[in-house]
Structure 1
Amino acid sequence: MTSFLSVPAVSGGPIPNALFSLKTPSIQTLSISTHTPSPTFHFNPNRLAIRSSYADAGVRDDSRSSTIDVVADVRSERIVVLGGSGFVGSAISKAAVSKGIEVISLSRSGRPTYPDAWVDQVTWVSGDVFNVNWDEVLVGATAVVSTLGGFGSEEQMKRINGEANVVAVNAAKEYGIPKFILISVHDYNLPQFLLTNGYFTGKRKAESEVLSKYPGSGIVLRPGFIYGKRRVDGFEIPLDLVGEPAERILKAIENFTKPLSSLPASDLLLAPPVSVDDVASAVINGVTDDDFFGVFTIDQIKEAAEKVRA
């Protein structure tokens, strides 16, 4: 289910009294008053505005003195990527940096060892959500993006896929972060006994927490198999050599495979892979578009990615 909310982002009235404002937690205000020929500056750390009044500056309307109030908002994004040095997390961090978004990464491994230029533009914090000092990472953030997840024993999967994300969601909510974006997993049509393992139950628990704490701004992305060039212990695994051809083939024959989608476990073969770059671009769309929230399927992730690249 996908939710959409249309809210007028700009409100205005006829000049000479016009006010344009966009509410965001990371906006600064500078006020300029020209009641006399020498302007007076007022600084407010939460908004950036320019206000100009010419009533006493020798500029007058035929019927009355003119006053023009204009608030010019400058929005800057600062995101926290949980697991930012991992396969998906690093792609998100790289995409965000390329869009001028400030990035803080929290992961156990901290800064990656490879020498890519974008790495120097990210603030790397070593740690995990169960022990981190949130003051070091969440203050001033406009969104939290969680890529936390993994496989292991039943208890390990419940902890990293579920509990870790629940902790992160509640910390973000407590610090007043306006958005939370979760990288989850496709809703596979597997037999119920397979969906009760720790991986899937953990992911769904995390989804419920995001959607309940952030009903109007929480984002859950549900990709299937994610492909790209994955670095593991200094080696690069080219998952795109498998994922990209598979995605193209399934796209070409989707009209023939749709009738098969109702068969149990058919998603294991028929759910199209998703490029890690598409996932990253969809996240950027979620960070910058306030009308983008809810649960997003594989096709919707790709559509969101196209909006960013357009």
Structure 2
Amino acid sequence: MAAPSVQKLLVIGGNGFIGSAICRAALAKGMQVTSVSSSGRPYTTPKGHSPAWTSKVTWLKGSAQNPSTFSNVLPDVHGIVHTLGTLIEDGGKYKQALREGDVTKVIGSALSSVFGLQNPLKRGAEGSYEDVNRDSALRVCEAFLRSGEGKQFPSPRPFVYISAEDVFRPLIPARYVETKREAEMSIEAMLSTSPSQYRGVYIRPSLVYHAHYRPLTTPAAAIFDLSASLHRKIPQGVPKPSEILHQLGNALSPHSSLPRNTSLGSSLNSIANAMSIPPIHVDHVAEAITIALGNSNVAGVVGVKRMRELIGWWPEDQQFLQAAHKST
């Protein structure tokens, strides 16, 4: 196996749902992987098992909000993937419920978010959208840049940030996606000061699912995948439901704290996205990230379509078209 261009990878939150998949995929690519998390414990399955691959990862305890807790490893890593994020401001209770497959608690967290049954955290407070989704990534990025001061690298060091497609509103507050977009813009501004030394990659998955590790995501994934498939099959020229919703959403005055060129628009736009953007398996997200890490041409926003292209996965109708083209 040829040595990967990113030989030493640091994953922030490597024992989480997406982070663990990235660690596993990176090991398969021949990378040396280090994970930093608040517990420092190796990944375990929902049943408490430690897969064999976890013995090949270096598990460190540290805080993304305080990168000095792991700054000693930063000068030697060739790339970073930041996976921390919170969908609901409830101290991670919904994550535990998803992990355990507790439908009641997941629904309770979602309803509390929709109807404001729990007080939202003060902006910037510990555990808030600003703290977890945005500020933790900015602090890690700043430390990553400092670790390379005075050095020259053969290729730009990638900083991969797990962002999100706008598919969850109005079930999830707009601040969830807004803080993700703010992080993208701020990271890009920092990295752009040294474009030959660093590149930013902003992964925007839709609904991320796994039948065994997140069984509660499977029914929703099946519905969203069916909706996206039906949209692809609508003949060109026939208005699609998602297009109609986008038009209605664009006609409404958006309420967003983001600059106009990155405004989220109406919740109708988010619903339209959910109807037309298919879900993506967590292993496909991880595979796309490992490919992006080793390809210096991959930079900027990487949505679901681009992730599928990177891993060589084609929707059923495109596979059919390719086969038909080859047969002629």
Same fold (TM over 0.5): yes
Mapped partners of 2:168, 2:219: distance in 1: 26
Mapped partners of 1:105, 1:171: distance in 2: 16
Does 2:177 align with 1:200?
yes
Equivalent in the alignment of 1:119: 54
Q: Return the letter of the residue paired with 1:142.
A: H
Root-mean-square deviation over aligned CA pairs: 2.8
Equivalent in the alignment of 2:99: none
Q: Which has the larger radius of gyration?
A: 1
Does 2:141 align with 1:163?
no
Mapped partners of 2:312, 2:4: distance in 1: 25
Deviation at 1:75, TM superposition (A): 4.5
Equivalent in the alignment of 1:134: 70
Equivalent in the alignment of 1:179: 158
Deviation at 1:135, TM superposition (A): 2.9
Deviation at 1:116, TM superposition (A): 0.6
Equivalent in the alignment of 1:98: 28
* SS in structure 2 of the partner of residue 179 of structure 1: strand
Equivalent in the alignment of 2:203: 221
Q: Relative to structure 1, is the Cα distance of residues 249 and 205 closer, same or farther in structure 2, using a 3 angstrom cutoff?
A: closer
> TM-score, length-normalised on structure 1?
0.66
Which of 70, 81, 84 matches 1:148?
84
Equivalent in the alignment of 1:80: 10
Mapped partners of 2:4, 2:279: distance in 1: 37
Q: Which has the higher helix share?
A: 2
* SS in structure 2 of the partner of residue 259 of structure 1: helix
> TM-score, length-normalised on structure 2?
0.62
**More displaced, 242-251 or 91-100?**
242-251
Q: Deviations over 1:147-175 (max 9, x none)?
A: 11102034311110111111011111111
Which of 212, 229, 232 matches 1:254?
232
Instruction: Indicate if the aligned counterparts of 1:227 and 1:244 stay in contact, CA closer than 8 A.
Output: no
Mapped partners of 1:116, 1:226: distance in 2: 21
Unaligned 5+ segments in structure 1 are: 1-72
Q: Return the letter of the residue paired with 2:21.
A: A
Q: Deviations over 1:121-162 (max 9, x none)?
A: 111112221234233431311111011110203431111011
Does 2:142 align with 1:212?
no
Q: Deviations over 1:206-247 (max 9, x none)?
A: 10122112234110011111111464xxxx535345425632
How many residue pairs align between the two structures?
Answer: 229
Mapped partners of 2:179, 2:66: distance in 1: 20
Mapped partners of 1:158, 1:179: distance in 2: 23
Identity %: 26
Q: Relative to structure 1, is the Cα distance of residues 74 and 164 closer, same or farther in structure 2, using a 3 angstrom cutoff?
A: closer
Q: Relative to structure 1, is the Cα distance of residues 97 and 229 closer, same or farther in structure 2, using a 3 angstrom cutoff?
A: farther
Instruction: Indicate if the aligned counterparts of 2:227 and 2:276 stay in contact, CA closer than 8 A.
Output: no
Unaligned 5+ segments in structure 2 are: 90-119, 149-155, 235-239, 250-267, 314-328
